[in-house]
Amino acid sequence: MRVFNRIHFRNLRGDIFGGVTAAVIALPMALAFGVASGAGAGAGLWGAVLVGLFAALFGGTPTLISEPTGPMTVVMTAVIANLTASNPDNGLAMAFTVVMMAGILQIIFGSLRLGKYVTLMPYTVISGFMSGIGIILIILQLGPFLGQASPKGGVLGTVQNLPQLLTNLNPAETALGALTLAILFLMPSKLKRLVPPQLVALIVGTIISLVLFSELDIRRIGAISAGLPSLQLPTFSPDQLQLMFVDAAVLGMLGCIDALLTSVVADSLTRTEHDSNKELIGQGLGNLASGLFGGIAGAGATMGTVVNIQAGGRTALSGLTRALILLIVILGASSLTATIPMAVLAGIALKVGINIIDWGFVKRAHKVSWKTALIMYGVIFLTVFVDLITAVGIGVFVANILTIDSLSELRSQDVKTITDADDEIILNEEEKQLLAEAEGRVLLFYLSGPMIFGVAKAIAREHTAMEDHNVLIVDLSDVPKLGVTSSLALENAIKEACEKGRQVFIVGATGSIKRRLQRFGILDLIPTNNLLMDRLQALKQAVALVKAENFELKASDSLVSK
């Protein structure tokens, strides 16, 4: 694995232009997310610089732009609010420590090569928690949008205090927020290609606030320190350590999902393939550095990445260019941000929340199936009113249970008992003739497809329904995987047949299937000669045994009659 991301200078103009364009978009977003998180505009800017710099340098997606995102900001807001409430003196420092811990977890995930598993979850769950995060971001911005501080208590606190917020709204700030939304929604597409609407809203909103509302008390960002950030040493509180670890796990996991989903988008636009494990390491290093220097957490940003690619960015040089431009802005032009109204930033963040909601799937989930709608709406509700980890955990659990149930029902149809040529299975003419000659004394137990644990019930059901017979043939020729639970159910069927004195043949057990049977001791239950590779050969031997038994029975009856 190479250490650095893909960087070359053959596309220098495209990468620089892509980085500049991404930086222009990143500036208002970083300010908005920093203020929305509660850490301040400076924390948002440094998060955009540091996460973007290290992820571009060490990540595995050349065109990915990493910075504070809506989903990460929602979790970061909750982390800061909880820790500062329980420990006012050190809460913010502990929140930055959580960002560091999240980065370390992401590095561990990447080092253990877990990248390919991160996004292996049902789309209904992904859509649900992303839409839930969008709703949370909208609700949390209602206070600043209406010209007031966000009420304590997060989402529930804002919902409960909504009548009071509406009663005490600040007309001037609400007008600025509404103007911001109008620009973001109504700006013509042709102009959007020339200049980002977020930047236009930021500049226009600030100018109007200074010209029309100069005499009013408008809440503004205030001055941002122009120097380098101070080092934030890891800060822990013994009674909050468990909560910090859980918060770090949620933040880190969400960052992994957010980044890798954006990497897939980048791949589709550039016809390339990212390295998911390397990307997680880059994201982890970025968040570790951001936390160390007082920045909020970040991840791969879809908007910035798409704009970067459309502007010509093709290597990590575009991400490095973007980070350098933002660094210059912080060090040389930070005073220009002091007059930006909070309501304008709230309008920008609120629009992000609206965009995060998966409107297309929300509108048609109920048309897909009631199960799909139940999972998605349930995850949305849990995300908004409980917490993200509970929502994802329950959503994945329910979705997997329903999927396993459907697969088990489907696979159960491939568990069949055949006693004559008229039963449902494809047999050649010779096999049909042999079954007919057996006169129902030979039972062919046919299994096909992966025998997952949900199929064990079908094996047991067919086993219970087996009629009297002399020979049992278990055909595993079309079974690529045999699960533990299905192996135990199969063992019970074979054991019972052996205990009743029946001959048992196993057909087609090779490779992993044979090893599984050996480890369970199932092969020890039958003679070595009864383990065959050909179903026709097994049927021939079985019919020969039946005929021999019939001959012995007739001979015995003849002797008795004499």
| pLDDT (tens digit per residue) in 35-52 | 999 999 999 999 999 999
Which secondary structure element, helix H or strand E, spans residue 477, and what is its range? Answer: strand 471-478
Q: Distance between CA 259 and CA 301 in Å, rounded? A: 7
Residue with token string 């595993």 = 476
The token pair that represents 398 in the structure block: 């329910």
**DSSP summary character for residue 150:** P
**Partners of 504 in beta bridges:** 472
CA distance 531 to 513: 13
Q: Which of 170-174, 194-198, 496-500 has the highest mean pLDDT?
A: 170-174
Domain spans, the chain: 12-229+276-354, 362-411, 413-561
pLDDT for 393: 85
pLDDT (0 to 100) of residue 482: 84
- Smallest CA-to-CA distance from 45 within 64, 56, 55, 31 is with 31
Residues 67 and 52: beta-carbon distance below 8 Å? yes
DSSP string over 164-219: HHHHT--HHHHHHHHHHHHHHHHS-HHHHHHS-HHHHHHHHHHHHHHHHSTTS---
Q: What is the mean pLDDT of the chain?
A: 86
What does the pLDDT read at residue 296?
96
DSSP state of 239: G
Q: Is the pLDDT of residue 446 over 60?
A: yes
Q: Which stretch of 159-168, 238-247, 530-539, 548-557 has the lowest confidence by average pLDDT?
A: 548-557
What would the mean pLDDT of 315-334 be, rounded to a whole number?
A: 90
Confirm if 345 and 32 have CB atoms less than 8 A apart: yes
Q: What is the pLDDT of residue 414?
A: 53
Within 10 Å of residue 281's Cβ, how many Cβ atoms?
25
Instruction: Compute the half-sphere exposure of residue 155: CA atoms within 13 Å on the CB side of its CA.
Output: 19
Q: Which pair of tokens denotes residue 529? A: 């000669």
Dihedral sign from CA coordinates of 285, 286, 289, 295: negative
pLDDT at residue number 236: 87
Q: What is the pLDDT of residues 115-133, one digit of tens each?
A: 888 777 888 888 898 899 9
Q: What are phi and psi of 531, to 5 degrees?
A: -100, 105
Closest to 115 (Cα-Cα) out of 282, 320, 269, 265: 282
**Cα–Cα nearest to 84, from 121, 37, 22, 52:** 37
Assess whether pLDDT exceeds 80 at residue 151: yes
* CATH class of the domain comprising 413-561: alpha beta
Query: What tokens were used for 548?
Result: 């021999």
Task: Determine how many CB atoms are found less than 10 A away from the CB of residue 525.
Answer: 17
